[in-house]
Each structure stands twice: as structure tokens, then as C-alpha cells.
Amino acid sequence: MFVTRSALALSFTLALAAQDAPSTKTMTQPRYVEGKELVQPADYRTWVFVGASIGLSYSESGSSTGPGRFHHVYIQPEAYRYFARTGRFPEGTILVMEVHEPEQKVSINRQGYFEGERRALEVAVKDGETFEEGWAYFDFANGAKKSARAFAKEMCFSCHRQHGADDNVFTQFYPVLRGLKKKAN
Amino acid sequence: MFVTRSALALSFTLALAAQDAPSTKTMTQPRYVEGKELVQPADYRTWVFVGASIGLSYSESGSSTGPGRFHHVYIQPEAYRYFARTGRFPEGTILVMEVHEPEQKVSINRQGYFEGERRALEVAVKDGETFEEGWAYFDFANGAKKSARAFAKEMCFSCHRQHGADDNVFTQFYPVLRGLKKKAN
């Protein structure tokens, strides 16, 4: 009887765990050409926005005089829901970062900055089958490159691994994902 | 024969126009209690992000010493697609603005700012049936108020009417909507 109860409890727990991790079947998956060249993600502007920043740098000695550039970051809706429920990023997660020039004094704006022209389009992908480190990072030359090779491990991966609060992702800088963590935990 | 051709051409044009304006049937609509008190929109973080800014002000003489606060703005996916196709905002459009404290020097960040705690939640609604001006503006006290009354016309509407590049909306500050206008026109 005890065994049966344990088995029941276990299957119940497993069922709950399965329920806790929402399906990612419909999620846009990373696509590659010529082996490991990532195809530029399409329609990411309808994905979920996770946070913005300006002039973010990891260096003490900055050479920039202005406010720096805006970054804003998107994630697939399914990966967002998966993270909301489990606190983890599913395989196939894609994060897209747009970099925008700061603009000011346009129209009635007198102080502060808004996002001007896009200057860069960069992508992080979680794909342990294709990349042995689990995550890989790509630069699409502000959209001009339709596919891109991953950066060498030392260029992005190592810093993301060391400093990303969750599984290589800088969730500490993204208010939308920080908010989800509070709910998931 | 000429009349028939014209009629055909007209019906074809009308069919195209109908096709150009995508359906907003599934769009989250503004909901009200006690007449015209807008209910706080739910799940807007899965809507479409249109742009971020920091410290944006319309006043020449600023009293702030820091960089000011981040704003970021969302729109319903259906209204986004409608604007993409037609360059116009459909009735029922809701724009949600989150205001976040600027944060710095957390984790490996040494320069620049990312979005810290949310400090305000404000909403614009296009609803000509409920509000004679067509648009109305609401402050949800950073989420604490579950419903809110519209601001008086002089508080928000007049400035939006005068300076919003498109139909009371400051599309000039939102890179995602600016990009759509280039395609729609």
C-alpha cells in the first residue's frame, strides 16, 4: 500500500511537472544554413519584449561622450511562457537584441532620449544539439546579413556564462524576466 | 459595359480595401466599470513593444539631475498589424506605457542604465463611442488601481492631439511604428 501510494504520488508529481512546462511545439525554432549558420529570425518584433537599456557597458573606462546606445531585447512568446512557469529557458530559445542610436530634440522633445535608427541586430540561441556550449551568439550586421556564423566562444559565451543571472541570460537587466522569476520561484 | 466595368473596378477596390484592413475581432477591447472607468489591461506584456526612451521631457528647464526614467510602450498585436497595413489605428486601440527607474552598477554593469523597478503604468485608449475626443488617457498608480478615470482633456489629450505624429500617437518617438509607416505608405 505504501509503495502504491508512493507510486501514485510520484506519477502525480511527474504529471504536475509536465503541466508546469508549457508546450514549445509551436515555437519558432532556430534555422541554419551551411551547417551552423543561423538564419536571421523573422517577425521577432511581435515576440515578447523583456527590457531596454542605454549605454550599458562592462568597462570602467568609457570612451563615449554621449549617453550610449539603446538596447532592447525580445524572446519568443512560448519561451517567455516556459520561463514564466519553470524559471528555465527551453531548448530553442532565441533572444534578439536591437541596438538603436539615441535621438533627442525632435518634435516637442527637449530633454532625454528616444530610440532613433537601428544600428545593430544581434541574436543569442540556446541549442545544445548544434553548439556544444549550449548557447551561441550571432551578429547580423544590422540586418544586412541574412545568415551569420556564431562568435567564437571567448567573444560572448564566456562572459554570458559567468555573469548571466540565469542560464547565460542577463535576466538581472530585464525587468520583464525579473518579474517572472518572482512568480516562478 | 462601361458601367459594368466601373462597378467591377469599384467592387475590386473595395475588396482590396477590406483586405488591407486586417480584422480586429480578436483584439482585446477596452473594458469599463461604472460608466467610463477603464479596467487595467491584463497581459499587455505579451503585446507588441513599440519603443523605449529615457528622461523624455517636453520642458526646456529640467529639474532632474539623473538620466530620468525609462518609458516603454506596448500596443495590441491586432492594432499593430492594422497600423502596419493601413497606417491608421483601429477603434479600440490600447497603448500601455510602463515607467521604470533607471538602475546602474548592478552585477557587471559599470556604465549606462538598465530598467529597474516599475514606477508607473499609464494607458491611452482610442474609443470614439465612449469619449467624444476619440482618445482618453489613464493613470493606474503603478498598477495599484484596478480601474481609473480618464484625465481631463487639458491634461494629456490636447498635447497628444497637437504633437502626436499620427492620430494622437507619438509615433515619431517609436522606432517600431516609424518602421511600419515606411512600409504602409
pLDDT, one tens digit per residue, over A2-46 is: 445 555 555 555 454 555 688 899 999 999 999 899 999 999 999
**How many beta-carbon pairs below 8 A join chains A and B?**
135
Residue A47, domain member (yes or no): yes
Instruction: Identify the CATH number of the domain in which residue A68 sits.
Output: 3.50.70.20
Tens of pLDDT, residue by residue over A81-119, are 999 999 999 999 999 999 999 999 887 777 899 999 999
Nearest to A52 among B57, B70, B108 (CB): B70
Q: What is the pLDDT of residue A38?
A: 98
- Chain A residues in contact with B62 by the CB 8 A cut-off are 110-111
Q: What is the pLDDT of residue B185?
A: 52
Cβ contact A113–B54 (<8 Å): yes
Kindly identify which residue of chain B lies nearest to residue A75, measuring between CA atoms: B46
Kindly identify which residue of chain A lies nearest to residue B105, measuring between CA atoms: A58
Q: What is the pLDDT of residue B110?
A: 77
Kindly identify which residue of chain B lies nearest to residue A105, measuring between CA atoms: B58
Q: Are A148 and A139 in contact (CB under 8 A)?
A: yes
Q: What is the pLDDT of residue B1?
A: 42
Q: Which of B27, B44, B46 to mutate to test the interface with A (most CBs of A within 10 A)?
A: B46
pLDDT class for A184, splitting at 50, 70, 90? low
d(CA B126, CA B173): 19
Residue B75, domain member (yes or no): yes
Residue A15, domain member (yes or no): no
Residue A61 has pLDDT above 80, yes or no: no
Nearest to B45 among A62, A165, A176 (CB): A176
Q: What is the pLDDT of residue B19?
A: 57
Residue A60, domain member (yes or no): yes
Range of the domain at A91: 25-184
Exposure of A49 by Cβ count < 10 A (0-12 exposed, 13-18 middle, 19+ buried)? Answer: buried
Residue A11, domain member (yes or no): no
- Chain A residues in contact with B172 by the CB 8 A cut-off are 106-107
Q: Are B115 and B100 in contact (CB under 8 A)?
A: yes
Kindly identify which residue of chain B lies nearest to residue A50, measuring between CA atoms: B45
What secondary structure does DSSP assign to chain A, as a single string? -HHHHHHHHHHHHHHHHHHHS---TTSPPP-EETTTEEEPPSSGGGSEEEEEEEEEES-SS----S---EEEEEE-HHHHHHHHHHSSPPTT-EEEEEEEEEE-SSTT--EEEEEEEEEEEEEEEE-TTT-TTSEEEEE-GGGT-SEEPPPPTTTTHHHHHHH-SBTTB-GGG-HHHHHHHHHH-
Residue A63, domain member (yes or no): yes
Q: What percent of chain A has pLDDT over 70?
A: 83
Residue A169, domain member (yes or no): yes
- B144: cell is 495599484
Cβ contact A52–B115 (<8 Å): yes
- Please give the tally of structural domains in chain A: 1
Residue A20, domain member (yes or no): no
Q: What is the pLDDT of residue A110?
A: 77
Q: Which residues are CB-contacts of B98 (< 8 A; sequence separation ≥ 6)?
A: B71, B72, B73, B74, B118, B120, B121
Q: What is the pLDDT of residue A63?
A: 56
How would you write the pLDDT of chain B (185 residues) with one tens digit per residue?
A: 444 555 555 555 545 455 568 889 999 999 999 989 999 999 999 999 999 999 987 766 655 678 999 999 999 999 999 999 999 999 999 999 999 999 998 877 778 999 999 999 999 999 999 999 999 999 999 999 999 999 998 888 988 999 999 999 999 999 999 988 766 65
